[in-house]
Structure 1
Amino acid sequence: MAGDRVPSPAATSIHPSAVVHAEARLGRGVVVGPYAVIEAGVIIGDDTIIGPHSVVKSGVTLGQSNRLSVGVVLGEEPQHRRFAGERSFVRIGSENTFREYVTVNRGYGEGEITEIGDDNYLMSYVHIGHNCRITTGVTITSGAKLAGHVLVHEQANLGGQVGVHQFVRVGRLVMVGGGSVLRQDVPPFVLAFGVPAHAYGLNSVGLTRAGIPPVHRTMLKRAFMLLYRSRLGVSTALARMDAELGSDPYVREMIEFIRGGQERGIIRWTKERDEE
């Protein structure tokens, strides 16, 4: 029967029960599932799938080949007491996966943006607050919640039920253990865990999987020891890292990340490891 045919890759398929505003722009090969709602002004790139009961609000732009599962809500108003209806946005790149009931709020403030880059995987019930920026290749596990203005750098991995305080920054290739609470920034390449989260070591597995050569991993271990195990103050440790190891590009990235953040400070070493 004609109704049972799978749409061709170039066709746009909209389920009869879906509500798509006439002023929404859908690319080629977009599939809109049952009872989905797409509001005016939304832009959806080619080959994107909008799952059943998902809602894409005005102000949202989606790139190509994104996948929204059941009940995803993109672009709802920021959860801020002083929000007064100003126009703000959500900008999403390409090839992202949003599993069941993910929510992404749009920016707080006139013209402000919540931004998600490319190739990110957000598992079920993840919440991304207003003005957050998720870069590229990030994995956020089920139930994690990000408050407003959080920045997550490339290839970071946040475990299940992680909570992230507003304005916290998470560095590249960071691994945060499930159930942790981040109240301060996590420098690149660090393994963090706890309530509140503390540094437990380098994310050695992540560094290896990312193809970071052994010579750079060795330099990062030396930098980590200076930063977290030398009992030096942060500014003194950074000065020594700069002088002794600063020519290494990965150590340089760690130094610049720490120096670039004044809002929250960085997580500290866990005393539990001193007792092992």
Structure 2
Amino acid sequence: MKQPLAYIHPEAKIAPNVVIDPFATIDKNVIIGEGTRIGSNVTILEGSRIGKNCNIFPGAVIGAVPQDLKFAGEETTAEIGDNTTIREFVTINRGTKAKGRTVVGNNCLLMAYVHVAHDSIIGNNVILVNSVQVAGEVIVDDFAIVGGLSAIHQFVHVGAHVMVAGGSLIGKDIPPYVKAGRERLQYVGVNSIGLRRRNFTNEQIRDIQDCYRVLFQSGLNNSDAIERIEAELPASNERDEIILFVKNSQRGVIKGYHQNGGKKEE
């Protein structure tokens, strides 16, 4: 159902059962999948690719040109997967020549006033709470939850199954499976409640805790801690993901809280 008061460019490709509310604007070179609803006063600009069964609330702007001085008008995209909810006044900019696209995955929830900048990659089942600000070329992996009013520095990598406290300034990479909080942002434990909700076994959670006790609570630097983890802890998918994350970190990972004078994890 397409309201006559909405503007839809004749070159936009829109599935027949998409609902478009009054005063929405849909530009050329836009694709919108089946079952999606576009709220009133939503603006979907050139280069946007929106999947099936999404719900985009009033005032959102998808596919605006990047707020990046190196952008020179190149053809890029802003891509949203299936079953994702975009709440009021969310802004998602399209990519630059750096990566060519900005991506928000499947089954995500971006709450009101979230901003996702150019070339960022948001995984599947991610929740960005109200007013999270994501700078350019950030990666947020699957099942991460970032608390409201948090700001993520450009090039930061947030790992899978991470829980970040609201109001955080995220300037370092956050490895998978952890909770991060305090000021300055630190490791504050394994996200065991979230992992159990996603059917991780007690054994898997214990293995993850063992890895982070070495990484964050042994007093070793990251390189030596990773060597000990590889030598002493049994191989598992979770262990190997932690090792690869730390080894590949470009900005360095957050510290463990005892390294900043706090007590060790119980």
- Pick which of 130-139 and 86-95 moved more: 86-95
The one-letter code sitting in structure 2 at the alignment partner of 1:25 is K
Task: Give the aligned partner of residue 256 of structure 2.
Answer: 269
Contact 1:89 1:111 in 2 (8 A): no
* 1:18 counterpart = 2:6: yes
Deviation at 1:194, TM superposition (A): 3.2
The one-letter code sitting in structure 1 at the alignment partner of 2:133 is K
Query: Counterparts of 2:96 and 2:11 in 1: how far apart (Å)?
Result: 24
Query: Counterparts of 1:275 and 1:136 in 2: how far apart (Å)?
Result: 32
Deviation at 1:257, TM superposition (A): 1.2
Query: Counterparts of 1:32 and 1:275 in 2: how far apart (Å)?
Result: 53
Deviation at 1:275, TM superposition (A): 8.2
From 135, 138, 141, the equivalent of 2:129 is 141
From 58, 71, 80, the equivalent of 2:59 is 71
Deviation at 1:120, TM superposition (A): 0.5
Task: Give the aligned partner of residue 57 of structure 1.
Answer: 45
Contact 1:179 1:194 in 2 (8 A): no
Contact 2:34 2:51 in 1 (8 A): yes
Task: Give the aligned partner of residue 141 of structure 2.
Answer: 153
Query: Counterparts of 1:34 and 1:49 in 2: how far apart (Å)?
Result: 12
Query: Counterparts of 2:227 and 2:242 in 1: how far apart (Å)?
Result: 12
Deviation at 1:46, TM superposition (A): 0.4
Task: Give the aligned partner of residue 5 of structure 1.
Answer: none
Task: Give the aligned partner of residue 225 of structure 2.
Answer: 237
Query: Counterparts of 1:132 and 1:194 in 2: how far apart (Å)?
Result: 25
Contact 2:162 2:176 in 1 (8 A): yes
Deviation at 1:111, TM superposition (A): 7.0
Equivalent position SS for 1:273: coil
Query: Counterparts of 2:188 and 2:9 in 1: how far apart (Å)?
Result: 50
| Cα pair distance change 1:110/1:180, threshold 3 Å | closer
Contact 2:76 2:100 in 1 (8 A): yes
Contact 1:181 1:194 in 2 (8 A): no
Contact 1:86 1:110 in 2 (8 A): no
- Pick which of 79-88 and 113-122 moved more: 79-88
From 216, 241, 256, the equivalent of 2:244 is 256
Deviation at 1:37, TM superposition (A): 0.2
Deviation at 1:145, TM superposition (A): 0.3
The one-letter code sitting in structure 1 at the alignment partner of 2:47 is G
Equivalent position SS for 2:256: coil
The one-letter code sitting in structure 1 at the alignment partner of 2:23 is Y
| Cα pair distance change 1:162/1:272, threshold 3 Å | farther
| Two-structure CA RMSD over aligned residues (Å) | 1.4
Q: Which runs of 5+ in 1 are unaligned?
A: 1-12
Q: What is the count of residue pairs matched by the alignment? A: 263
Contact 1:200 1:273 in 2 (8 A): no
Deviation at 1:162, TM superposition (A): 0.7
Contact 2:95 2:102 in 1 (8 A): yes
Query: Counterparts of 1:111 and 1:227 in 2: how far apart (Å)?
Result: 32
Equivalent position SS for 1:241: helix
The one-letter code sitting in structure 2 at the alignment partner of 1:234 is N
From 173, 182, 187, the equivalent of 1:185 is 173
Query: Counterparts of 2:105 and 2:19 in 1: how far apart (Å)?
Result: 21
* 1:172 counterpart = 2:143: no
Equivalent position SS for 1:91: strand
Query: Counterparts of 2:53 and 2:107 in 1: how far apart (Å)?
Result: 10
The one-letter code sitting in structure 1 at the alignment partner of 2:202 is P
Q: TM-score, normalised by structure 2?
A: 0.96
Question: Structure 1 residue runs of 4+, over 3 Å off?
Answer: none
The one-letter code sitting in structure 1 at the alignment partner of 2:262 is R
Task: Give the aligned partner of residue 31 of structure 1.
Answer: 19
Task: Give the aligned partner of residue 10 of structure 1.
Answer: none
